[in-house]
Structure 1
Amino acid sequence: MEDVDAQRLMVKVARLYHTHGMRQTDIAKRLQISQSRVSRLLAQAEEVSVVRTVVAVPQRIHADLEERVEARYGLGEVHVIDAVSTDDKELGRDLAHTMASLLQDITFDAPTIGFTSWSSTLRLMVDVLQPLRSRTERVVEMLGDLGPPELQHDAARSTQRLASFTGGQPVFLRTSGVVSSPEIKELLLRRDVYAQEALRMLDSIDLALVGIGACEVDPSLRPGDNFFTDEDFARMRELGAVGEVCLHFLDADGVPVEGGLDELVIGVTLDQIRSARRRWAVAGGRRKHAAVRAALAGGWVDTLVTDADTAEFLMSGPEPDLTVRPGRSAAADAGS
């Protein structure tokens, strides 16, 4: 009972301070506790994620660089941040906060949101997200389970939270994301009506939150653990792949690389990504430079959140041919 009372007091203090804008001294007087205790309770509320802080980056702080990347790749929007560290985890956290701020600042009609729940940056985004202005009907996972059970649980939790912030229903894809053969894929889907329904919903995505990966095993995953092996990635690199979008491999021009692995993925198809009205991605860091450029060159993304170093890399090298872009479709262009 004492723990419950302490939690109630913590939540009450947090609401008075963050929601009602009261000063700590006034909260202390109102609740008849010391100001130092008010400060401790506010700090505790942040530690246990009762209060989540999002640092809103001023719009167009890198206006010239953003506009040049937008023009070079034919994008709707690019948001660039200054990285405070080259460490992938710290950069991912900064990018996630920026993506959360962007989602919370806009209003649009998106009945179906496709969500790459295995993306560590997108899961970090959900952790700091607040309820959105935009409302939706459903948040659909775009890939099946990847990695160990604890990662699968974290992915499902993120999907549930994102749905709650939009007022929609979560639609889970609770089956292996990568299987060992097309025959096993067919057998799994034939017996799973819920997976069949989730995959059908991906035919009409209004906003796709896509994942961009380097052409190597993701640090959070183990080779072959509901995922591709080191040998799979090596073979795709030999075929010209430099990265992947939702586990679909691309060459430097963003053209899909045929290597037989698409048939092993249970999740969103390239055609479904292509037909989505909006395709947003948050990615950066040196390890993903080539993959991000491929995703943009091929037209698989129309809004990007990234870091300044990656944006400068995107402006180097030959210009992409925007007249032939496999990721763009007339329907997607009309909905952008």
Structure 2
Amino acid sequence: MENSDDIRLIVKIAQLYYEQDMTQAQIARELGIYRTTISRLLKRGRDQGMVTIAINYDYNENLWLEQQLKQKFGLKDVVVVSGNDEDEETQLAMMGLHGAQLLDRLLEPGDIVGFSWGRAVSALVENLPQAGQSRQLICVPIIGGPSGKLESRYHVNTLTYSAAAKLKGESHLADFPALLDNPLIRACVLWW
């Protein structure tokens, strides 16, 4: 354990750094010690429990769940959107907004982006920002369409095309159903 002078110094440095928002360089100048010593003493204060850092998860109650999902499935990033008491349309809009922001942040030139169909994917595409210049992306469907059983605005090809237009990329569309009743047609599509 530290002697009382060391403890006093660590607490003083922590107070200047965390409560008064001074930089380590400013503290070093004020106390007449090396900046590396400041850094080392701040770490020692945390390690020995003299300094604790609390994060208020009320601002993002889903952070823990996001980290668990990311770790369990080896994902690059995760966003969990709270449903709370909002109606279904509001929830879809929030999912679309957060999904579009995440996708926009993760996209890199040359990426191939796959889209499926439905209301949630439509909400994401609606919220994609309009790109200012070509991002050299290719947007593709990853599943066939629902064989005329869905509004065209939710169809995979419509969403793929719309996303490519917003992202200033190319779209490659596929014209086959997601589900095939006839085994012979299914075999032909899989062979193709």
CA shift for structure 1 position 115: 1.1
Tell me: CA distance 1:185–1:143, structure 2 relative to 1, closer, same or farther (3 Å).
Answer: same
Bigger Cα Rg: 2
Match of 2:91 in 1: 91
Does the Cα contact within 8 Å between 1:113 and 1:136 map onto a contact in 2?
Answer: no
Match of 1:82 in 2: 82
Match of 2:158 in 1: 157
Cα deviation 1:51-89 (Å, max 9, x = unaligned): xxxxxxxxx934333223333443332212222436544
Residue pairs, 1:132-171, within 5 angstroms: 132=131, 135-148=135-148, 151-152=151-152, 154-155=154-155, 156-171=157-172
In structure 1, the residue corresponding to 2:114 is in which secondary structure?
A: strand
Tell me: CA distance 1:66–1:189, structure 2 relative to 1, closer, same or farther (3 Å).
Answer: closer
Larger RCO, structure (CA 8 Å, separation 6 or more): 1
**Structure 2: where are the runs of 5+ without partners?**
1-58
Amino acid at match of 1:168: G
**Distance in structure 2 (CA, Å) of the matches to 1:69 and 1:187:** 38
Give the TM-score normalised by the residue count of structure 2. Answer: 0.55
**Distance in structure 1 (CA, Å) of the matches to 2:87 and 2:147:** 22
Match of 2:128 in 1: 129
Tell me: CA distance 1:175–1:77, structure 2 relative to 1, closer, same or farther (3 Å).
Answer: same
**Distance in structure 2 (CA, Å) of the matches to 1:71 and 1:150:** 35
Match of 1:108 in 2: 108
**Distance in structure 1 (CA, Å) of the matches to 2:175 and 2:102:** 29
**Structure 1: where are the runs of 5+ without partners?**
1-59, 191-195, 197-336
In structure 2, the residue corresponding to 1:114 is in which secondary structure?
A: strand
**Distance in structure 1 (CA, Å) of the matches to 2:68 and 2:90:** 26
Structure with the higher helix share, 1 or 2 = 2
In structure 1, the residue corresponding to 2:122 is in which secondary structure?
A: helix
**Distance in structure 2 (CA, Å) of the matches to 1:64 and 1:188:** 43
Match of 1:119 in 2: 118
Tell me: CA distance 1:65–1:119, structure 2 relative to 1, closer, same or farther (3 Å).
Answer: same
Structure with the higher strand share, 1 or 2 = 1
Residue pairs, 1:166-315, within 5 angstroms: 166-187=167-188, 196=192
Match of 1:331 in 2: none
**Distance in structure 1 (CA, Å) of the matches to 2:105 and 2:146:** 31
Match of 1:11 in 2: none
In structure 2, the residue corresponding to 1:127 is in which secondary structure?
A: helix
Cα deviation 1:4-51 (Å, max 9, x = unaligned): xxxxxxxxxxxxxxxxxxxxxxxxxxxxxxxxxxxxxxxxxxxxxxxx
Taking only aligned residues, the RMSD between alpha carbons, in angstroms, comes to 2.9
Does the Cα contact within 8 Å between 1:85 and 1:91 map onto a contact in 2?
Answer: no
Match of 2:11 in 1: none
Paired residues, number: 131
Does the Cα contact within 8 Å between 1:104 and 1:131 map onto a contact in 2?
Answer: no
Amino acid at match of 2:129: Q
Does the Cα contact within 8 Å between 1:115 and 1:141 map onto a contact in 2?
Answer: yes
User: Percent identity among equivalent residues?
Assistant: 19
**Distance in structure 2 (CA, Å) of the matches to 1:106 and 1:76:** 9
**Distance in structure 2 (CA, Å) of the matches to 1:126 and 1:168:** 13
Give the TM-score normalised by the residue count of structure 1. Answer: 0.34
Tell me: CA distance 1:86–1:72, structure 2 relative to 1, closer, same or farther (3 Å).
Answer: farther
Cα deviation 1:184-210 (Å, max 9, x = unaligned): 2234577xxxxx4xxxxxxxxxxxxxx
**Distance in structure 2 (CA, Å) of the matches to 1:153 and 1:189:** 26
